[in-house]
Amino acid sequence: MNYYEHYKIARDASWRTILECGITALPINMVSVAKKWDSHCTNIPLAA
């Protein structure tokens, strides 16, 4: 598999995650994504 194929897989997975989290605007609040997936948020600055 070449680099472009790896890129396409990662790109598609990223967009799928964004859509599943209900993100509708940029920039993305990564804390909300992490909470959706029940991840532990450490060392992530919280934006106001």
Q: What is the pLDDT of residue 39?
A: 59
pLDDT of residue 6: 93
Domain count, the chain: 1
Give pLDDT, residue 19.
86
CB 31 within 8 A of CB 44: yes
For 20-47, how does the pLDDT look when each residue is reduced to its tens digit (9 = 90+)?
A: 888 888 898 888 787 777 755 555 555 5
Instruction: Judge whether 31 lies within some domain.
Output: yes
Does 32 reside within a domain?
yes
23 within some domain: yes
Asked if residue 17 belongs to a domain, the reply is yes
Residue 36's pLDDT is 78
Q: What is the mean pLDDT of residues 4-30?
A: 88
Q: Which domain holds residue 30?
A: 3-36
Strands (E), the chain: none
d(CA 5, CA 43): 31
